[in-house]
Structure 1
Amino acid sequence: MSESVTDLIEKHLQAAFGTRPQRASVTFLGVEPIDIERFVVGEDAAYVTVGCARHPMADPNELNPDPVRGPRVEIVVRMHASRPLPGLHRRLATIAAAPAVEGLVLGADALVDLGEPLWDGAPFTALVTAVDAELGEVALPAPMDPVRFLRAVPITANEAAWMRLKGVDALREAWAEAAIDLDDPGRSPATM
């Protein structure tokens, strides 16, 4: 393959957003660097990991995981660019490295609990994922699976508890009923 998986992802993202990103790179011992690309379009910003999909995710209990086939994802957090979100890139890189480090398999409708603020001073300590339809997929040469983008919505500890108890659909319904703007970094949590 002439272009790497990360090269194909970066080309796809620049075409989708129509702009070049700001970039931060985070390195973990024993893992290839994870980049966080920040695209600003109008008054909104999208933070996208690049590097999680370098290798397919596999169940950590598999003795011989397939090095080519398997799900590949990158994480997207969309926020209004109304204020800085210090530390967000480090937390996203930690999540993106989790498949390689901990064997975590990321998918849609998953709850990822960080146990710490998603960015410095944030009330959000977890994320709930969904397929990011706006970004589509990045096709890779056969037999590799395409790269999917998972939109990660920041949630509070109470919202995470509600999701564990009632499920992701109930949480999304509570947001809709309260007309909560999920892209607002200063939003109030849904009342349960």
Structure 2
Amino acid sequence: MALLHRAEIRPTKLELLAAWLPGRPWFHGPAGADVVRVAGFRFDDPAGAVGIETILVRVGDGPVHQVPLTYRGAPLEGADGWLVGTTHHSALGPRWVYDACGDPVYAAALAAAILDGAGQAEEFFEVDGRREYRTPSMTITSSGGEVGGAAVGAPRRVLDGDPTIIVTDTVELAVVRRPGAGEARAGGTLSGTWPGQATPLPLAYAAPR
């Protein structure tokens, strides 16, 4: 379960992405155009310490890009190269926002979603002591895999391309940056649908090492 706050965030996530995306090797879009949110989903962090959100965005008339993010209350050691930026959350205070592909908590959550069918987190807003369910803006499904239940371990190597490859001790994960582009890969598959995209498109893959 993801418990959300109706809070002010400065700069916003989309403002952070507008400055960060053009420098990514996998980004395709016009310069200077607004970043628009298309859809998104979240995973649970079992420890409850890290926010894990995947956002689908479009820049101008460019393609849809998949951007997984993690939100932390303190810097992640050794992950400066994956920092998208810092922001201030009116309820939680300073937050460090990372490209989740460089965050071990995301790697474990993604592997669990693909190989164990963990699925996406249910989202709730807390309002006046009550929890209000937020209808998801997209749906994800998993085809499963061959190493369900195996410990993923910390990422040993991350190759920042399209797809972005996350190599751990037991699993190789591939995160598709532009859904619908590129060729299918072997292994378990995480697919998604969202408004305007009724046919499931692969979002990520997981294969044993």
Q: TM-score, structure 1 length as denominator?
A: 0.33
More strand by share: 2
Normalised by the size of structure 2, how large is the TM-score?
0.31
Flag the structure with higher helix content. Answer: 1
